[in-house]
Amino acid sequence: MEKKSIFLTEKELIEKLSLSRTTIHRMKKEGLPCIIVGKNRYRYQEEDVKKWISKHWEIPYHEKIKEIDNQNRPINEYITLQELMSYYKISRTTIYRLTKEGMPSLKLKNNRLFFHPDDVEIWINKQSEINQSKKRKKLKD
């Protein structure tokens, strides 16, 4: 008996692989196999997707994150560079500068940056406190 192929919607794929919608769209641009079933509607064959991921990354995203992030947070808690740019309304260049200054990020082997929103928020608040104390110190002098 022939094994039936299972097609997943984007939502089902996101839930099954614990990836963000943005990651799925990026993977699609990079060649993730899918079938167009309507305007901006796609279906994904689970086996093809798993093969594609294993071929394009030695280790799936969620396993790479676990290697780097000792808190073992799921991949869907992380946001991409584009999502961070959109949320804070800052440029790519500014984000690169902030990461060089110490803003927490994860850089995977494929050179993509991921950010955990809580870590970024804590870092930004800490930087604000440091800047305020520097301003106060200058005013005293």
Mean pLDDT by 10 residues, the chain (141 residues): 69 81 85 86 86 66 48 74 90 91 80 85 87 74 63
Sheet (strand 113-115) strand order: 79-80, 113-115, 106-107
Question: Which residues, in sequence order, are CB contacts of 16 under 8 Å at separation 6+?
Answer: 8, 46
What is the structure's pLDDT at 89?
Answer: 92
Amino acid identity at 129: E
What is the structure's pLDDT at 106?
Answer: 81
Amino acid identity at 51: K
What is the structure's pLDDT at 60?
Answer: 46
Domains, the chain, ordered by start: 1-56 (1.10.10.10), 64-141 (1.10.10)
Nearest to 75 by CA among 86, 63, 87, 85: 63
pTM of the full structure: 0.48
Nearest to 32 by CA among 6, 51, 58: 51
Amino acid identity at 49: V
- Max alpha carbon distance in the chain (Å)? 84
